[in-house]
Amino acid sequence: MSRPAVFLDRDGTLMEEVHYCADPALVRIFPGAAEAMLKLKACGFLLVIVTNQSGIGRGLLTKAQYLAVQAELMRQLDETAKCRSLISAAYFCPDAPPPVSSRRKPEPGMVLEAVRDLDIDLSRSWFVGDRSVDIECGQRAGTRTILVQTGYGTGETASLTAPNPDFVVKDVVVAAEIILELVK
């Protein structure tokens, strides 16, 4: 039976934005993010990270560096939430534009891979991110969307190129509260 998911951007949404983060020592999850994710998971949502990592394609970091940063993020989330495997899956696109890639947000390729891999019901799913490409990706995939005003989110509200998100909120904690309130 298909389950709903919350698709999450990584940098600027779950953890502090660090321009092309290549060092696990720089990973800082946002306060309350892990606990908010735990509440979503307890309510039956799969949690899926979907992240553009063009720094790999640009030669600014290696895949190994990306994986080390990702492992540290997962460690911090699990440790803080006191939960093993809080995140169901993570997808990343190393492509640098141009050309346009079907996997690079705003294209929904990574979301559709997750749907195939995890049997996700997009009609009951959400996409949470700090950039207009996150919102557009979620909308192209058929999810509801929330723009968080962390990371690049503060400046994104005025420059959204896609239709407006369903909600614009302070951070991922408030995003989770809204999602949980609407599924009651």
Q: Which of 11, 95, 134, 171 is catalytic?
A: 11
Would you state the structure tokens that stand for residue 179, as one six-digit string? Answer: 């999602």
Residue 9 designated active-site:
yes
Distance CA 7, CA 43 (A): 15
Residue 78 designated active-site:
no
Would you state the structure tokens that stand for residue 53, as one six-digit string? Answer: 């990592």
Distance CA 13, CA 99 (A): 26
Looking at the annotation, which residues are catalytic? 9, 11
